[in-house]
Amino acid sequence: MSLNPAQRAAVEHCDTPLLVLAGAGSGKTRVITQKIQHLIVRRQMPAQKIAAITFTNKAAREMRERANALLRGVDAEGLTVCTFHSLGLKFLQIEHEAAGLRCGFSIFDSDDAGALVKDLMPRGTSGPDIAAIRNLVSRAKSDSLSPERAAELAKSPREREAADIYGQYQKRLAAFNAVDFDDLIRLPVQLLEQHESLRDAWRERLRYLLVDEYQDTNTAQYSLLKLLAGPRGAFTCVGDDDQSIYAWRGADTANIERLGQDYPELRIIKLEQNYRCARRILRAANTLIANNPHLHPKKLWSDHAEGEPIRVFECADAESEAERVAAEIAFLANKHNAQWDDFSILFRGNHQSRALEKALQLQRVPYHLSGGTAFLERAEVKDVLSWLRLLANPDDDAAFLRAVAAPKREIGATTLARLGEMANRLHLGLARAAERPDVLGQLPARTANALDGFMQLIAALRRAAATMPAGDLVRKLVEDSGQLAALRAECRDEPLFQRRRENVEELAQWFDAAGKGSAGDLVAQLALLTNADRDSAGNAVRLMTLHASKGLEFPFVFIVGVEDGLLPHDASIEEGRIEEERRLMYVGITRAKQLLHLSYARHARRFGELQRCTPSRFIDELPAAELHVVGRDAGQDAERTREHADAAIAKLSALFAD
């Protein structure tokens, strides 16, 4: 397919900063990959001087594959296609000394970071309070604030507490030679701001930047873009302010306005031709989002067919709604000879999936729930993985910190901080420092004995790993480390213990298939498993939140729970954040290619009481001419009922024929 005029203009414009406002389904990834080809082939820019940056590993992988397909036969070695965090990691790996890090520093994931915050807070602090402080620390980092500046700007006791925890948290990370995900952006920004030589070197290293999903950038990410691009502004930012739905994790739509302020020569190109949706769906989406204020208004259009009216269902309650949706999916799949993965059910919150799962099971419709706890993210599995990582790499401090506490030993956070300080002075990892008698001699005898026993166990398992089959090593590890005994002790009943034990056994069985291998081979295999697309659904109806649906498309889309209090959410109504909820609804609508269904319940049980529900205000904002509200057109409804009845009879006849 050739480029349309707006796409071609976006690809060929390279001389001044460029913002591409790319509406839903307008081919933005195609523009980015074609522009990479244009820069390398037409502009003769070395591939290693170009970086295309997006927000997820999956998006980066797909973009890299499409770019490579366009660049066959062209020297594209060194081309960078990655996430913001991957770029920050690459920067810190090169500039680790300037950041005060040793080579081989660890990265704390969200679980590691949460556990560290918990250790720093008073004993007995509730989970929600810990999460709130962790989020405030993360927000401060996303806003490029130091602990001191966060304390100055604090407006409430909780914000002041978070600023204090933030300072302690950073000291602990430094002692452990570790960074968290936020530091992967914050530290490069800090170093580039402070060191002119680094700025010059990196601006030469990366001569052109392409940023995807620009509307999702936070303050620190925008600062990184500006520092790398410099006054020249050699960049193309591609985004859609109408699909900015991540303010809760720091995304700032004001970054679109900042581009124009910081780069007066900025050119803006709008991609308004949609290649995905039927015209009715686009008209409805345009009318809805027009209720939001816009700095740069746009209006999507399509050459596709008109399509059927958007169907709106009113149901008695969530259970009736789920049954109606499941029955409609079964009917449409038969009518259109569609695959199950042509269908998606979208909702505001994960709790809405329960009734839907039950209804789909009764209809014998296969489904896949996106966003559930992935197998490799389960606590007992991650505990085993931390031990395996440490067996393979004694310098993996994050693995050491998790393994030494799985199960808990007489080794507290204060001891680990002291160990980290001594390891830093010796320029060693935590595990290597814990092996040294002179280090253990500076710790209390009881703690030193516990650490010595832990390291002896690691050494024994490392010896076993050299000859033992992979799966057997996992089984030996959970027994010898005490993890299995700890699981039994903490599980409230036998069925729960068996489920968690089976998770560990499933991990062992994965490794059984790999045969014999060293600890290094294990870690390599684990990396492949961890980096795979773990949300692969196969031929099944996709159930997911509206947030998770962004970037996807389906022929048939059902949005359920379209009620005030759910969509828009109660908290958003109370806090005046309706505009982002409207954008969320817009994202959901524009996932549909052919048919869109909206549904809501008349009553819902909340806080133990049956309450009357109000249809979402967003339904009233949709153009009435594009809707068919079931129950208002007797003739059309009767025809649909006959179609359902005929389909049911045909299904029964097929069963008896078998």
Rg (CA), the chain: 27
Q: What is the number of other CB atoms lying within 10 angstroms of the CB of residue 143? A: 17
Q: 3-state DSSP call for residue 411?
A: coil
Phi, psi (degrees; rounded to nearest 5) at 333: -60, -40
Place of tokens 């980290």: 420
CA dist., res. 574 & res. 654, Å (int)? 53
Spatial CA neighbour of 592 closest among 397, 384, 343, 409: 343
**Selected catalytic residue, list 80, 215, 243, 545:** 243
Q: Is 29 a catalytic residue?
A: yes
| Helices and strands in the chain, H and E counts | 30, 17
CA distance 17 to 226: 11
CA–CA distance, 613 with 325 (Å, rounded to integer)? 18
- Using the 8-state DSSP alphabet, how is residue 39 labeled? I
Q: Tell me whether residue 112 is one of the annotated catalytic residues.
A: no
User: For 284, what's the count of Cα atoms within 13 Å in the CB-facing half-sphere?
Assistant: 34
- CA gap 406, 395 in Å, rounded: 18
Distance CA 277, CA 553 (A): 9
| Contact predicate 447/415, CB 8 Å | yes
CA 247/CA 18 separation, integer angstroms: 24
In sequence order, the 6+-apart residues with CB closer than 8 A to the CB of 441 are: 448
Catalytic residue among 182, 212, 240, 383: 212
Task: Please indicate whether residue 591 is annotated as part of the active site.
Answer: yes
Q: Provide the 8-state DSSP code for 3.
A: P
Query: Regarding beta strands 235-239 and 18-22, do their DSSP bridges make them parallel or antiparallel, or are they unpaired?
Result: parallel
* Active-site residue (options: 311, 348, 583, 591): 591
CB atoms within 10 A of CB 523: 19
Answer for the pair 212, 59: CB distance below 8 angstroms, yes or no. Answer: yes
Active site residue 213: yes
Phi and psi at 601, nearest 5°, equal -105, 150
- The residue to which tokens 């992967």 are assigned: 184
Burial class (CB in 10 A: 0-12, 13-18, 19+), 612: exposed
Tokens of 596: 């869109």
Question: What's the rounded Cα separation, in Å, for the pair 116 and 169?
Answer: 7
Q: For 199-230, give the DSSP string.
A: HHHHHHH--EEEESSGGG--HHHHHHHHHHHT
Provide the strand spans (E) within 388-524. Answer: none
- Our answer to whether residue 335 is catalytic in this structure is no
* Active-site residue (options: 112, 182, 213, 216): 213
Q: Which residues are designated catalytic? A: 28-29, 212-213, 243, 591
